[in-house]
Structure 1
Amino acid sequence: MIESKFVAAVVQAAPQYLDLDASVTKAIDLIGEASAAGASLIAFPELWLPGYPWWVWMGSDEWAASHDFTDRYRHAAFDYSSRHALRLREAARKYGMAVVMGVAERADETLYIGQWLIGGDGQTLWRRRKLKPGFLERKLFSEGGGGNLTVVDTPLGRLGGLCCSEHRHPLFKYALYAQGEEIHIAAWPSFQPHQAKRPGIGPVVNNALSQVYAIEGGCYVLAPCALVTDAMIEALCDTAERRAFLRRGGGFACAFNPHGAPVGGLIDEHEEGLVLVTIDPDEIRAAKSAYDVAGHSARLDIVGLSWASAGETSSEEVDDV
């Protein structure tokens, strides 16, 4: 259980798109900025390294191949044994900062949508892979397994996370609630609020999912969100139709306390910055005392949940470099 209050930072920023070196440098700068603001934990968006592959939404595989998007993405993907990983671990240690980073993980020739928790001592506390990438994301990414539904004890409390559309899945969420989660990282890519026919990629639906998660779980939810930049649009959009799909901005980072109330304020969707949130253990205790879906408010004699967790290698077998 969290013993005392502390500050967490929620990132709203764009990476240096498909440039892993530059994006890691920018991440380290943000870690330093969060430390200067008094934070002990910083949460980054989904696939922040090296950026979200928006082209899977915008055209055929043949079109993407003609621009070498997928090959470039594989080359820029994140390897946990790389110097980039070492740089992030050293930054976490330097600033005494717990870091939750969203990565496109490359394991041999397979890609996964990953989240990585580094402790303030620079050691890996937790790694996971998105269990079921979205239907278009499956062009690039493989599935994680049962070992990726894990909440871990950290010096800052019991922490877990999910990526994007995983927050639509009641069973995935309940698996984390049942482990006494206190802080949840809801990692999102940038949102496209103008897509009336695709509300599932807009902020209203997705931030509502984050808010409901906080209420159901009786936990803090930190929901980092990336941005779309002019440089990304220039790199990806070669027709008016594609430019109409992918608009500049889309940053809607937010956070909710265990009662579902927004905390930390908001940043304009076109601006970069950090949403700073005070994590208060008394609020977690109060929320779970009032209603605990996996504890005193449950009916486990009638409805329960079990899940496979053995034999997975994404969050379990962690070799620090």
Structure 2
Amino acid sequence: MDHEKAVRAAAVQISPVLFSREGTTEKVLDAIASAAQEEVQLIVFPETFVPYYPYFSFVQPPVVMGKAHMQLYEEAVTVPGAVVDAISRAARSYEMVVVLGVNEREGGSLYNTQLIFDADGTLGLKRRKITPTYHERMVWGQGDGAGLAVLETAVGRLGALACWEHYNPLARYALMAQQEEIHCGQFPGSMVGQIFADQMEVTMRHHALESGCFVVNATGWLTPEQKQQITADEKLQKVLSGGCYTAIISPEGVPLCDPVTEGEGMAIADLDFSLITKRKRMMDSVGHYSRPDLLQLQVNQQAWAVMQSAPTVPLPEQDSPLSSEPIPHPVD
């Protein structure tokens, strides 16, 4: 680790263009260009921001959400595809690491997917949320352990988790054990109210302290008009409010800038990597403060598939004993 390194990071709080993959992607590209003017080297967007988080599934019963679910299928992102190509070009053009949440479609399934683009435009990691939360299970499939990986990037060793994956301590520890230097958190925002924002702050600051890494956390935002688009029920519109905490936290658990909790905006801060060593000198959860003789974590990091090719069994040669000798019969 370069102890003298400093990285300028941005967490973006932003509203999508509802029902439009193309429109939301344009907002992502505009935000990347704006961040480049601030000399940002790492930018993090909210959970499943492209085309939009499925807020409908939180306020509609399954029996009536079919139309909205189908529309999400139609606007979802494929990997590879046009959205990936556009973000790759922007990352390469501005030499910026980009962490983007998308609704990914593969075949007949949708996934909550986090994409990490390196500063040369390479898509370095595609990971899927390992367990969708509550209502989300009606929308997305499950990810696998292949996504529990820390990626070496131009700005350092990056890991990412989405929303309540942060309440899975073993998932967090899997990233910590890989010497995560910057953790990228993504949440939907505009849900549940202030209590969600309060819980998020506690969770993000705790991970920074426990892992001894920086946390860059981004949440989405819905305008009053967008809440009306999602539901005409005024009581349910109140449910789609609050819950925003876009922030950057130091390895000592200290916010490095004012968080964004209302409206659109960017939290921008410089990450001084010497703070990682300063924190871990006191408490290194995966080093001198661990007890691997007592406690260990096992992780299956293989990607799963519904079908795998069986190994080919060679046919016996013509002059082999198997083909030339008569087949023995049981003796009466």
Please give the TM-score of this superposition, normalised by the length of structure 1: 0.91
RMSD of aligned Cα (Å): 1.5
Deviation at 1:83, TM superposition (A): 1.4
Task: Give the alignment partner of residue 256 of structure 1, picking from 249, 257, 260.
Answer: 249
Counterpart residue number, 2:240: 246
Task: Give the alignment partner of residue 275 of structure 1, picking from 267, 288, 291.
Answer: 267
Note if contact 1:226-1:250 (Cα within 8 Å) is conserved in structure 2: no
In the TM superposition, 1:100-179 aligns within 5 A as 100-179=99-178
Task: Give the alignment partner of residue 301 of structure 2, picking from 284, 309, 319.
Answer: 309
Letter in 2 for 1:255: I
Counterpart residue number, 1:224: 218
CA deviation profile, 1:158-202 (whole Å, cap 9, x unmatched): 11010000001111111111110000001111143537xxx4xx1
Counterpart residue number, 2:289: 297
Note if contact 2:24-2:51 (Cα within 8 Å) is conserved in structure 1: yes
Q: Which has the larger radius of gyration?
A: 2
In the TM superposition, 1:19-168 aligns within 5 A as 19-65=20-66, 68-168=67-167
Counterpart residue number, 2:207: 213
Note if contact 1:192-1:203 (Cα within 8 Å) is conserved in structure 2: no
Deviation at 1:238, TM superposition (A): 2.0
Counterpart residue number, 1:265: 258
- Tell me whether 226-235 or 154-163 shows the greater mean CA deviation: 226-235
Note if contact 1:151-1:158 (Cα within 8 Å) is conserved in structure 2: yes
Give SS of 1:186's match.
strand
Distance 1:132 1:27 in 2: 26
Give SS of 1:307's match.
coil
Distance 1:255 1:221 in 2: 6
Please give the TM-score of this superposition, normalised by the length of structure 2: 0.88
Give SS of 1:204's match.
helix
Deviation at 1:120, TM superposition (A): 1.2
Distance 2:75 2:225 in 1: 17
Note if contact 2:183-2:216 (Cα within 8 Å) is conserved in structure 1: yes
CA deviation profile, 1:126-184 (whole Å, cap 9, x unmatched): 11000001021000101111111101111211110100000011111111111100000
Give SS of 2:103's match.
strand
Note if contact 2:97-2:153 (Cα within 8 Å) is conserved in structure 1: no
Letter in 2 for 1:49: V
CA deviation profile, 1:107-128 (whole Å, cap 9, x unmatched): 1111111110111111111110
Change (3 A) 1:243 1:193: closer
Number of equivalent positions: 304
Distance 2:79 2:225 in 1: 27
CA deviation profile, 1:22-63 (whole Å, cap 9, x unmatched): 111110110011110011010011011111111211121122
Distance 1:251 1:134 in 2: 18
Distance 1:297 1:109 in 2: 45
Deviation at 1:94, TM superposition (A): 1.0
Letter in 2 for 1:76: E
Change (3 A) 1:78 1:281: same
Distance 1:167 1:305 in 2: 16
Q: Which runs of 5+ in 1 are unaligned?
A: 314-321
Letter in 1 for 2:228: E
Q: State the structure with bigger RCO (CA 8 A, min sep 6), 1 or 2.
A: 1
Letter in 2 for 1:62: V
Deviation at 1:281, TM superposition (A): 1.1
Change (3 A) 1:297 1:250: closer
Distance 2:74 2:41 in 1: 32
Give SS of 1:39's match.
coil
Give SS of 1:224's match.
strand
Distance 1:17 1:34 in 2: 23
Distance 2:238 2:268 in 1: 33
